[in-house]
Amino acid sequence: MDRAASFGAFTYHGGALEVARRLMPDAPKPWIDLSTGVNPHAYPLPDLEPEAWLRLPESGALAKLEAVAAQRYGVDPACTVAGPGSQALIQALSRLLPHGTVGALGPTYGGFAAAFAAAGAHVIEAGRLDALDALDVGIVVNPNNPDGRITPRGALVDLHRRLAERGGILVVDEAFADFDAEAESLARALPRRAAVVLRSFGKAYGLAGLRLGFALASPDIAPSLRAALGPWPVSGPAIAIGAKALADSDWLKAARARLSEEAARLDALLRGAGGRIIGGTCLFRLAGRSDALADFEQLLSAGILARPFADAPARLRFGIPPDENAWERLALALRG
C-alpha cells in the first residue's frame, strides 16, 4: 500500500470508504467508518408523503422548517436560512461575503479555506483568536474540529465587536455544538449585523446523506444569503425529515446522554490502548498516538477507517462506533 497516496485520499475529508475498500480488499467486513463526526445513531426515518419526492417544495414548507429550526437553535426565523448542507452554505457565503483576507482559527476543518480560496479570497490560518481582528471575514469553528477546543461565547462576542467595527464579519461554525458546549453557542446571542452561525443537521441527527444545514445570519446578511440560494434550496425529504427531527426534544436529550457516555467509553478504550486524548466532542475524539500513520494502517487492515491528518502525523481522530460489534473490533484492532 502506497502510504503517501492513501494518506492524501484520507486526509482531504473523512468518509473515503471507497478508497479504503480498494486499498484493503481483504480487510474484514463490514467496514467500520470512524473517519467522520456523524452521529452513528441516526434519527429514525419517518414515512414520507409521496409529495415530498414528486413536487417542488413549497415556500411555506421551507418557511415552516426554518421556523422549527429557529426554535431549536434559539433565533429569529427571519435569520434562519436552510441550505443543502452546511458546506453548501459555506460555498454560498464564500461568494457572497466581502472578498479580501479571510482566516480561520486553526488548525481546523479545511472546508472554509477551500471554498473561500476558490472564490478568490486570500486565506490565512490564524493561530490565535485576536489574529482574526484585522480580517474581512474571521472564522471560528466552535467546538473546534478536530480537537474540540471551545471558544467561550464572551470571547466570540468581543471578537465580533472588534471585527464589525472595522467592517469585518464573524462566521462561527457550530457543526458540533448540538451535544457539546451549548452554553457557548453564539446563536442565542446572534449579533444584529455582520455575523453568521452555521449549524449542521446531518452530523447531529446522523443523516449526512440528506444534505441539510442552517445559517443563522444577522439581518444584514440573511436576505442576501437567501437570495443567493434561490428558491427550492432544500429537498422535499430534507424538509419533511428536518421539520420532524428538529422539533423532537426527547430524541435530542436521549442522544446527548447516550453520546456523552459513548465518548467517555471511547476515551477509555483509546487510553487503554496507549493513546493520549487531546480533545474532541461527543461525536469524535482526537487521540495522540506516537505513530499515528502506523496505527491508521493497522486499523485499515482490520476494516476500520479512522481519520488521519496530513499536518499532524501523531494524531488520529475517531468517530463513535455504531454498535457493540464495532466496539469489539476496534478494541481488538487497537491491541494490534
Question: In the complex, which residues of this chain contact a copy of itself (CB under 8 A)?
Answer: 13-18, 33, 36, 38, 42, 45, 51-61, 84-85, 87-88, 90-91, 95-96, 111, 114-115, 118-119, 202, 206-211, 224, 227-238
Query: How many degrees, rounded to 5, is the angle at CA 93 between CA 238 and CA 183?
Result: 70
Q: How many CB atoms lie within 10 A of CB 231?
A: 11
SS3 at position 213? strand
Shortest spacing between CB 127 and a copy of itself, in angstroms: 26
Nearer to a copy of itself, 102 or 270 (CB): 102
Nearer to a copy of itself, 65 or 181 (CB): 65
Shortest spacing between CB 12 and a copy of itself, in angstroms: 9
What whole-number distance in Å separates Cα of residue 41 and Cα of residue 7?
28
Shortest spacing between CB 230 and a copy of itself, in angstroms: 4
Q: What residues are paired with 104 via a beta bridge?
A: 125, 139
**Run of H or E including 312:** none
Handedness of CA 133, 135, 136, 140 (dihedral sign): negative
SS3 at position 196? strand
Nearer to a copy of itself, 114 or 247 (CB): 114
Nearer to a copy of itself, 62 or 270 (CB): 62
Torsion-angle region of residue 187: left (phi > 0), alpha (psi -120 to 50) or beta?
A: alpha
Shortest spacing between CB 119 and a copy of itself, in angstroms: 8
With beta carbons less than 8 A apart as the criterion, state whether 288 and 315 touch. Answer: yes
Nearer to a copy of itself, 90 or 306 (CB): 90
The residue assigned the cell 453520546 is 259
Nearer to a copy of itself, 53 or 291 (CB): 53
Shortest spacing between CB 278 and a copy of itself, in angstroms: 24
Nearer to a copy of itself, 181 or 304 (CB): 304
Shortest spacing between CB 232 and a copy of itself, in angstroms: 6
Nearer to a copy of itself, 77 or 288 (CB): 77
Shortest spacing between CB 219 and a copy of itself, in angstroms: 17
Shortest spacing between CB 252 and a copy of itself, in angstroms: 18
With beta carbons less than 8 A apart as the criterion, state whether 184 and 206 touch. Answer: no
Where are any strands of DSSP class E within the chain? 32-33, 80-83, 101-105, 122-126, 137-141, 169-173, 195-200, 213-217, 276-281, 284-288, 304-305, 307-308, 315-319
- Residue 316 DSSP label: E
What whole-number distance in Å separates Cα of residue 81 and Cα of residue 234?
10
Nearer to a copy of itself, 52 or 155 (CB): 52
The residue assigned the cell 457565503 is 93
Distance, first Cα to last Cα, the chain: 18
Shortest spacing between CB 116 and a copy of itself, in angstroms: 11
Non-local CB neighbours of 188 within 8 Å, separated by 6+ positions: 73, 74, 75
